[in-house]
Chain A
């Protein structure tokens, strides 16, 4: 058993500073967050309110007809308990119209489309609200690529992008996020009955320990298996990680000139601080 727990007081303080400064250096005062009713977006919203003040954070709730009713209720629990502005836009009509025209039944395509549709609305609203989009992805899902490319992975900054899911739970408890949200089974809620752990085929407790050993401790695969982790799981997680590398890197640009973005146009992101 590897203790992945952090000093959550220190971690919170650091992330709050990160949000405060990175929002400013991206020339924004406000932030917008897609609130799903799950733990990740709840944690990011709690942190954002602490960093920017409740009046500067907008929560967007974007339910689809197959989303669990609980998700919407739990999302509203977050916005109401923090006293932030929120808007609820049901995306059923827009999405179903397209699914009908394009004859889409494949649930992966449906899931990706919903994720990108939400991204579209969040970015549109970010313009209306003059706000940066806060990403809510955590390290476990980012590293496994358990995300939709240009969907939930599209954001201005990632406040909890370096926290494993296990650590997000710990931070949520420290932040006093409602128990009801903490105790739910993690789910992308793209179709009924979907759970992260069911889809990935391992529990977050195992996933995070394996990822931690491989990434943070730089243990080779064989060493991790020797520690008693299931060989099939270790191999499938690492395969998942590397097969989704494209989601975490800038797409290759065909290098032709002397100076090319993606290759040797090397300015910092925060250049206009």
Chain B
């Protein structure tokens, strides 16, 4: 199956969900014109990143009427976005949402909100504890958020879950301008090279652009196929909508030539994991 995915590499306005909603609609309409099945926005695309105390003011329940216009457009295209979720458990989460056919199909809560150095997410957000995937018309997908991407344990769950597409939505600030490209961009792509090769799925990485409080988000969004090929790449620093065509047969081809998943033993893994938890070395 061949179809198109659009990467909406936007620069959200900090704390202004109304204006950001308009931006989501504009980019989604462009993606529809390009003939895409899916449009992907970055982490916290409805709110911006360095919210701090604004976090609580821009939080939305997943069933909020605010999402109505997006639900409506999702009858024409699947939409992945990031928002601050006001959980039914009265905890605020850094969450992603998958909308399709006029409905919210999945809400995933970031499992690894970084809290060290310049990151202070757990000062404002709760920590998700549930890996999730979703079966769509074009395959099984998981949506993970920013730091989640650097946790091979989480990506391993997607691999064992036989996922076809991992959407990694992100707000990564630039660090390091010694090399040809931002150092952090190399880190992301090197990581993605490993995952696509070993796990044999597509990675769709969407990072935002723009500056907030001196942090500059570098963009550089991409689609990488299971054979390692970069199908689409967005530029650095600028807002853009980039569309790439993927072929799900690439997953099959990859897994024929490198059939790692069929060698896995989930039961064995589980038993060994149980031995680790609370064991002498834990």
Contacts and interface: CB of A to CB of B under 8 A. Distances in A.
> For the complex, would chain B's binding face be called helix, strand, loop or mixed by DSSP majority?
loop
A6 interface: yes
Interface string A16-39: 011001100100000000000000
Given A13-B237, A21-B211, A268 B50 contact: yes
Interface string B235-251: 01100000000000000
B237 A270 contact: no
A268 B213 contact: yes
A102 interface: no
A5 interface: yes
A216 B15 CA distance: 31
Interface stretch (B22-30, B161-169, B175-183): B175-183
Interface string B8-26: 0001011110000000000
B54 A267 contact: yes
Interface string A205-240: 000000000000000000000000000000000000
B14 A271 contact: yes
B213 A270 contact: yes
A18 B211 contact: yes
A7 B14 contact: no
B214 A18 contact: yes
Nearest to A21: B211
B157 to A, nearest CB: 32
Contacts of B174: 14
B106 interface: no
B213 to A, nearest CB: 5
Given A265-B53, A268-B51, A11 B213 contact: no
Interface residues of A, number: 22
Contact of A7 (B48, B123, B178): B178
A11 B183 CA distance: 12
Nearest to A157: B214
B52 A22 contact: no
B114 interface: no
Nearest to B180: A7
Given A10-B182, A270-B14, A22 B214 contact: yes
B210 interface: yes
B213 A17 contact: no
B216 interface: yes
B178 A5 contact: yes
B184 to A, nearest CB: 12
A30 B212 CA distance: 19
Interface string A94-136: 0000000000000000000000000000000000000000000
Contacts of A267: 52-54
A93 interface: no
A266 to B, nearest CB: 4
B237 A266 contact: no
Given A268-B212, A269-B213, A10 B54 contact: no
B177 A10 contact: yes
Contacts of B53: 265-267
B177 A11 contact: yes
A270 B50 contact: yes
Contacts of B213: 268-270
A170 to B, nearest CB: 11
A7 B179 contact: yes
A5 B213 CA distance: 25
A-B complex: 7 closest residue pairs judged by Cβ atoms:
A266-B52, A21-B211, A268-B50, A266-B53, A11-B177, A273-B14, A269-B213
Interface of B: 11, 13-16, 48, 50-54, 123, 174, 177-182, 210-214, 216, 236-237
Interface of A: 5-7, 10-11, 13-14, 17-18, 21-22, 25, 157-158, 265-271, 273
24 contacts: A7-B178, A10-B177, A10-B180, A11-B177, A14-B174, A17-B211, A17-B216, A18-B216, A21-B210, A22-B214, A25-B212, A158-B214, A266-B52, A267-B52, A267-B53, A267-B54, A268-B52, A268-B212, A270-B50, A270-B212, A271-B14, A273-B13, A273-B15, A273-B212
